[in-house]
Chain A
C-alpha cells in the first residue's frame, strides 16, 4: 500500500515537475506545480503528517498557487522567448543541477542502511493523533517562533499593500 502510493504519487510529482520545466507558458508551469503539490500532500499523508497534508492543500495549492495564477491572469503573461542569457544557463545550469542530483542521491543511497523504512501513516505522537501532537509542540515549545511568524505575516501583508499600490 505504502509502496503503491509512493510509486503513483511520486511519479505524478516527478511528471508535474518535468512538465513545469518544459512548458513555455507560465500558467501551465503554475498548474503543473499544483499537481506536484497535491501529490506531495498525499505523500505527506502516507507519512503520517495528516495536518501538513491538509495545510499543503489549503495553503499551498489553495492560496499561494491561486495567487500565482491570479497574477499571471492579471498581467496577461504570454509565452516566454529565449534570449542569450538563457543559453548560458542551459550550458552551465543543467549539468550543475544534474551534478547536485547525483551527489545527493549518491549520499542517500550510500547511507541507505542508516536510514530506516517507512510504514503507512506512521504513529508519531505515541498514540496521540497527529494534529494534537503538532499543536502541543507548536503552542508550548515553539510558541515564540509561532508568534514571530504571525508578525512576519503582518509585515508581509503591509509590504505587499505598499508595493502594489498605484502611486509608487
Chain B
C-alpha cells in the first residue's frame, strides 16, 4: 500500500514535470563515457563505437516525445479538472440506482486511465525504444549477451524447484541470455501475484518480485537439491514433513548457513557434493551481496536455478527528463549486470575445483 502511494506520487510529479520551462532544452550532449568503476573498464571505447553516433537522433526523439506528452497534458488539463465537478454535480443515483457508487468509481478510473495513457504513451514508446535499440548495444560489451525487453519465459517453468509460490498473475520482462567466463546465464525479471478475495472485492498481492536466474553448473549431477530460506523451526518441520516431493532434509555443518537456509535433497551424498563447506560460505556471502537471506536456489538437470527477490525494478532506462547520452543507461545496466556476474564470481561457478 505504502509502495503504491509512493509510486503514485512519483508518477504525479513526473507528469507535472512536463510543465517545466526547461523541458525542451538540450544540454550535456557529446560527452564521452567516464569509466569510474572497475567493471566499466574499456566501456568508453565501446560507447564511442556503438552508442555515441545514436545520441543525436535519440535526443531528437526524446524531445519530440516530451513535446507530444506536454501537448496532450495541456489538452487533457480541462478534463482532469472537470471530472471531479462532474462527479459532484451529476445525480448518479437517479441514473444508476443502488449501483451508482460502483459506476462512479469505475468511470473515474476509466477516465483518468485514458487520460494517463494519452499523456504518457509517447514517453513510454520512447523509453521502450531505448530498451529495444540501445540496451542490446550496451550488452554487446560483454560479448555474446542477448537482451529482449519481453520474454516468453514463465516462472511456471521452474515449478519443479518447489520454490515458486502459488500465483495467479505473472508479469515478466527483461530477458537476458549469455555466457560469462564459460557459465551460461539465462535470467528474467518477474512479478508474481496471488488473487485474494474478501466478501466485497478481489485484489492481488505480490508474492514474489525479483529475478529468476539459471546458471550452467561446473559439476555434473543427478537428482534435485533445493536450498530454501529458513522458515523457522515450525515452518521447517512443516516443509520437511508435508513436502509433496520425496526430498529429505539435509543437515549441514555450517551453523551460520543453517541459520539462513534449509536444504532438501533426494540424494544426501549429491547434496553434499554440490553444497561443499566453501560453497556454503559463498552462498552466505551472496546473500549478503543481495542484502538479505531470502535467496533460494535449486540444483536440477546440471543447472543452478536461483530466485532473488528485489524491491527495485532492474534493467530500466534512465529518466526521460534528462538529456539523452546513454551514459546513465549504460552505467545502470553495467552495474546491474556486474551484480549478476558477482553470482558466478562469488559461487566460483566457472572453476572446477570441487571446493
> Is B one of A's binding partners?
no
A→B interface (CB under 8 Å) = none
B→A interface (CB under 8 Å) = none
